[in-house]
C-alpha cells in the first residue's frame, strides 16, 4: 500500500485507532506519553497534507473506492488544509503541556480515559474539517461533542460546577446538532445527494421553501456550535470549569472548526446565487457579529474569574470572524480565515498561562494574579504578550487580523465597521490591561488561598506555552503562511460560490 496515497485519511485514522489504546494503558505517565506521540504524528500528516495541497491543488480521497457523489469523499483544499494544520498543531502543543496540569486537576483513576477522550475529540474536529460529505460533518461533530462533554465534566474534581457546565453544553450542543441534521435532511430531500460539491451543483437555480428552511436550520445549528452571539451561553461555563488543558485546547480549536463549517456551507453548498444569503449577511451575521464584538467584550471587563473573562473574550472574537464573513467579499473571507488561525494562537497561549497559575495557586480567580510578575515571571510575560496580541498591538498576529478586517470593511463599503473594530479593540485593552496591572504593579499575597510560591511553572508547561507565544510574534511578522494561504483559499471558495471571477 502506498502510504502517500493514503495521506488524506491519516489525520482521522491515526487518533481514532489509537484512542482505545490510550484507554487501555495504565493510569499515569504512559497514556500521556502515548497520546503526545500520536498528536505529533497527526500533526506531521496534516503538515504534509497542507504541503501537498499547496503543490498539487485540491485532493479528493474516495473512501472504499466508491466514487462521489455515491461514496463518501474526503476533499481537501487550501481552506480546510489550513484548518487541519491549525487544529493538529494546537493538539501537538497542548498534549505535551497537559501532563502536570492533568495530574493536578483530574482524578488519577481517570487519566487513561482523559487522554482517550482528548484523542477522540481531536478525531472529530479533524473529521469535520476534512470530509466533503454533509452528513459526515454531523457525525464528526457529534464525535467531538460527546468527547468534549466528558472532558468538561472531568473538571468536577476541583469544582462540581463542571458537571452543570457539561450538562448545559450537552443540552445546547444537542439542540444545535438537531437543527443542523434537520437542515441537512431538508437539503437531501431537495437534491438527493449528501456530497457537498454535488449538492451545490444541484442547488444552482433552485428556489423552494425546503431549501430556505434547510439553510435556516443549518445556520442556527452551526451558530449554536460556534457560540455565535446570543447563542453562546454554553461557552463561558464550559471553558471556566473544564480542566485547564481542556480549556486551552477547546478555546483554540472547537469554535474555529465550527466557524469553518459555516464558511464551508455558505460558499461550497449554497453559493452566492442563493437568494437568502444576502439577507443573512445583512440581517444576521453583520449585526450579530458586531453585537458579539461589543457586548461579550464588555461582559469580559467585569469578570472576576480569568477563564470566564477569556471565554467571553472568545465570543467577542468570534464576532470578528462573522463580521468578515458577512461582507461577502474575498477580502472579508480572507480576514475571517486569517483570524481563525491567529485567534487560536493567542487564546491557546492565554489559557495555557492560566493553567500555569492554576498549577501553582490552585485558582483562576483574578486575585491569584496579583504580583504574579514577582513569583512567575515567565508565565507573566507569556500572558502579557498574548494579551497584547489579543488587543491587536503591532508585531503580533492580533494586529494582522485587525488589519485584514479593516481593509475588508473599507473595501466592502462598510466604513463604519472599520471604526467599530478599533472601538471594540479598546475594550480588550480594558480587560487585558486590568490583569496586566495586577501582575506588574500589585504585591503578591504572602498567605491565604491566593498565595503563590516564588516558583514558575515547570519546563514541561513553559516550553509548549512559549512556543505558542513566539508563534504569536512570528506569524505577526511573517504573514506568508496565514495571509497568503487564506487569500488563495478565499479566492477559490468565492469562485465556487459565484462571488468572484
**pLDDT, tens digit (0-9, with 9 covering 90-100), for 131-181:** 989 999 999 999 999 999 999 999 888 888 999 999 999 999 999 999 999
Could you tell me the sign of the dihedral formed by the alpha carbons of 233, 351, 285, 187, in that order? Answer: negative
> What was the pLDDT predicted at 4?
62
Angle made by CA atoms 348, 155, 41, in degrees to the nearest 5: 45
Mean pLDDT throughout 381-394? Answer: 94
pLDDT at 208 over 90: no
The predicted model gives 46-52 an average pLDDT of 93
Average pLDDT over residues 240-253: 93
Q: How confident is the model at residue 38 (pLDDT cuts 50, 70, 90)?
A: very high
Q: 294 with 381: CB under 8 angstroms?
A: no
Give Cβ neighbours of residue 208 (< 8 Å, ≥ 6 apart): 190
* Cα-based angle 368, 374, 379 (whole degrees, multiple of 5): 65
- State the DSSP code for 273: T
Determine the pLDDT at residue 496: 72
Q: Where are the beta strands (DSSP E) in 408-465?
A: none
Q: How far apart are CA 224 and CA 177, in angstroms?
A: 9
* Cα separation, 109 vs 444, whole angstroms: 35
Q: Model-level pTM?
A: 0.94
Contact assessment for residue 255 and residue 93, using Cβ atoms and an 8 Å cutoff: no
Alpha helices in 131-160 (DSSP H): 134-153
Q: Is the pLDDT of residue 338 over 80?
A: yes
The widest CA-to-CA distance across the chain, in whole angstroms, is 70
Separation of first and last alpha carbons in the chain: 40
Mean pLDDT confidence for 21-26:
92
pLDDT tops 90 at residue 328: no
User: What pLDDT, on the 0 to 100 scale, is given for residue 442?
Assistant: 84
pLDDT of residue 499 exceeding 60: no
Amino acid at each position: 500500500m502506498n502510504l502517500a496515497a493514503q495521506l488524506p485519511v491519516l489525520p482521522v485514522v491515526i487518533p481514532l485507532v489509537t484512542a482505545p489504546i490510550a484507554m487501555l494503558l495504565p493510569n499515569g505517565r504512559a497514556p500521556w506519553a502515548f497520546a503526545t506521540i500520536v498528536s505529533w504524528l497527526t500533526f506531521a500528516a496534516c503538515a504534509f497534507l497542507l504541503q501537498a495541497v499547496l503543490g498539487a491543488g485540491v485532493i479528493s480521497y474516495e473512501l472504499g473506492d466508491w466514487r462521489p457523489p455515491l461514496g463518501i469523499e474526503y476533499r481537501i483544499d487550501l481552506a480546510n488544509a489550513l484548518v487541519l494544520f491549525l487544529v493538529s498543531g494546537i493538539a501537538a502543543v497542548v498534549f505535551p503541556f497537559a501532563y502536570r496540569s492533568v495530574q493536578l486537576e483530574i482524578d488519577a483513576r481517570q487519566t487513561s480515559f482523559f487522554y482517550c477522550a482528548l484523542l477522540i475529540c481531536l478525531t472529530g474536529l479533524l473529521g469535520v474539517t476534512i470530509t466533503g460529505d454533509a452528513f459526515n460533518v454531523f457525525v464528526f461533530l457529534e464525535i467531538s461533542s460527546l468527547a468534549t462533554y466528558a472532558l468538561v465534566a472531568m473538571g468536577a474534581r476541583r469544582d462540581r460546577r463542571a458537571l452543570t457546565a457539561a450538562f448545559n453544553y450537552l443540552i445546547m450542543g444537542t439542540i444545535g446538532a438537531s437543527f443542523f441534521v434537520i437542515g441537512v435532511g431538508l437539503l437531501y430531500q431537495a437534491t438527493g445527494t449528501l456530497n457537498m460539491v454535488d449538492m451545490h451543483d444541484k442547488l444552482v437555480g433552485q428556489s423552494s421553501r425546503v431549501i430556505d428552511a434547510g439553510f435556516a436550520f443549518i445556520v442556527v445549528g452551526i451558530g449554536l456550535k460556534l457560540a455565535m452571539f446570543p447563542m453562546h451561553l454554553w461557552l463561558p461555563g464550559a471553558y471556566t470549569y473544564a480542566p485547564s488543558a481542556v480549556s486551552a485546547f477547546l478555546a483554540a480549536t472547537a469554535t474555529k472548526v465550527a466557524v469553518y463549517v459555516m464558511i464551508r456551507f455558505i460558499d461550497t453548498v449554497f453559493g452566492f446565487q442563493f437568494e437568502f444569503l444576502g439577507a443573512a449577511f445583512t440581517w444576521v451575521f453583520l449585526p450579530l457579529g458586531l453585537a458579539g464584538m461589543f457586548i461579550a467584550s464588555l461582559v469580559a471587563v467585569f469578570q472576576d474569574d480569568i477563564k470566564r473573562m477569556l471565554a467571553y473574550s472568545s465570543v467577542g472574537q468570534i464576532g470578528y470572524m462573522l463580521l468578515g464573513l458577512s461582507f461577502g467579499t474575498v477580502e472579508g473571507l480572507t480576514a475571517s480565515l486569517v483570524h481563525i488561525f491567529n485567534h487560536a494562537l493567542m487564546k491557546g497561549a492565554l489559557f495555557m498561562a492560566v493553567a500555569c497559575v492554576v498549577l501553582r495557586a490552585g485558582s483562576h480567580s483574578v486575585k491569584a494574579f496579583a504580583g504574579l510578575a514577582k513569583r512567575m515571571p515567565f508565565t507573566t510575560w507569556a500572558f502579557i504578550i498574548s494579551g497584547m496580541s489579543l488587543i491587536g498591538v503591532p508585531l503580533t498576529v492580533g494586529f494582522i487580523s485587525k488589519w485584514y478586517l479593516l481593509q475588508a470593511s473599507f473595501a466592502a463599503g462598510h466604513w463604519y465597521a472599520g471604526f467599530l473594530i478599533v472601538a471594540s479593540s479598546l475594550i480588550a485593552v480594558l480587560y487585558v490591561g486590568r490583569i496586566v496591572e495586577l501582575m506588574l504593579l500589585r504585591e503578591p499575597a504572602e498567605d491565604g488561598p491566593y498565595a503563590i510560591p516564588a516558583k514558575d511553572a515547570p519546563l514541561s508547561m513553559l516550553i509548549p506555552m512559549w512556543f505558542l507565544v513566539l508563534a504569536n510574534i512570528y506569524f505577526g511578522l511573517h504573514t506568508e503562511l496565514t495571509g497568503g494561504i487564506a487569500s488563495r483559499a478565499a479566492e477559490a471558495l468565492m469562485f465556487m460560490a459565484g462571488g468572484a471571477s
